[in-house]
Amino acid sequence: MSWHGNEALHYMNYLEKLNWRYAAKQMDGKKIPKEKLDRILEAIQLAPTSLGLQPFEVLVLDSEEARKKLVPEGNNQPQVLQSSCLLVFAVYRKIDETYVDSYINQIAETRGEPPESLAGFRKSILSSVQGRTLESCQEWSARQAYIAFGFGLAAAALEEVDATPMEGFKPEKVDEIFELGSKNLKSVVMLALGYRNADKDPLAKKKKVRKPKERFFHFL
C-alpha cells in the first residue's frame, strides 16, 4: 500500500496523535465510522503475543443494548453508554492441547508447511502452558491481552478516536452476563471507544502529565 500527501503526513505525526489522546471521562455518543473501527480492531488482531498464541478474544459491544447490561457492573461509569462501542478483552481460562493443535494446524495451512514439521514448536508450546498453574496461565494470558490492548489505544489515537481504558468493573459479573465461563473465557479489561465531550469533561482541555524523560528513561 502506498500513501500520498495528507495520508502520509497523518501517519507520520504519530507523536502528535499520542499527545492528543487521553482517557476521556465523558463521551458524546457519536458513532465511529466503520472503517475506523475496522482498522482499530485489525491493529489489535496484529499485536504480537508470546509464541503467537493469542490466548484471548475480544468482545465488541457495538449495540447500546449490549452495553446497557454492563452499566451497573462497570460501576456506572458514563463511558459504558456514551461510547460508540465497548471492547471487552477476555483471556482463556485454560489453554489445552486441542487449542494448541488448532494453532499448529493454522500455521501449517497459512504457510503451506506440513504439521509434522512443527512438532518441536508444538512440544515447546505445550511445555510452556502445561508447566504453569491455572492461575499463572491466566495471568500470562492477561499480559498478552494487554499488549493488544495497547495496540488498540495507539491505533485509536492515530484514527483520532478517543479510547478509555477501564479496569474498574466487576469481571465475574461481566463473565456471567455474557456467559464467558461456558466459552472458556474470563474478562480482564475493557476499552471504551468513541468521541470526547469536551464541554462536559473537565480533563479534555488539561495538559497531559508525565514524568520528565530524565526520570523515566535510564540509559545503561
- Yes or no: say if 59 and 41 are a contact pair by the CB < 8 Å rule: no
Q: Reply yes or no on whether the pLDDT at 113 is more than 50.
A: yes
Q: Reply yes or no on whether the pLDDT at 2 is more than 70.
A: no
Report d(CA 91, CA 135) in Å as an integer: 12
Q: Reply yes or no on whether the pLDDT at 175 is more than 80.
A: yes
Report the pLDDT value the prediction gives residue 12, as an integer from 0 to 100: 60
β-strands 56-61, 162-166 pairing: unpaired
Q: Reply yes or no on whether the pLDDT at 1 is more than 50.
A: no
Q: How confident is the model over 122-139, as pLDDT tens digits?
A: 999 999 998 899 999 999
Read off the pLDDT of each residue in 89-105 and give the average, rounded to a whole number.
96
- Yes or no: say if 166 and 190 are a contact pair by the CB < 8 Å rule: yes
DSSP assigned state of 180: -
Tell me the percentage of the chain whose pLDDT exceeds 70: 95
Q: How confident is the model over 182-211, as pLDDT tens digits?
A: 999 999 999 999 999 999 999 999 999 999
Read off the pLDDT of each residue in 85-91 and give the average, rounded to a whole number.
98
Read off the pLDDT of each residue in 145-158 and give the average, rounded to a whole number.
97
β-strands 185-194, 56-61 pairing: unpaired
Mean pLDDT computed over every residue of the chain: 93
Report the pLDDT value the prediction gives residue 74, as an integer from 0 to 100: 87
Write down the H helix ranges in the chain.
6-12, 14-20, 34-46, 64-68, 79-82, 97-111, 119-130, 134-158, 171-177, 213-216
Q: Reply yes or no on whether the pLDDT at 62 is more than 60.
A: yes
Q: Reply yes or no on whether the pLDDT at 6 is more than 70.
A: no
Look up the pTM and report it: 0.91
Q: How confident is residue 8, by pLDDT bands cut at 50, 70 and 90?
A: low
Residue 68 φ/ψ, nearest 5 degrees: -60, -35
Tell me the percentage of the chain whose pLDDT exceeds 90: 90
Q: Which three cell numbers stand for residue 116?
A: 509434522
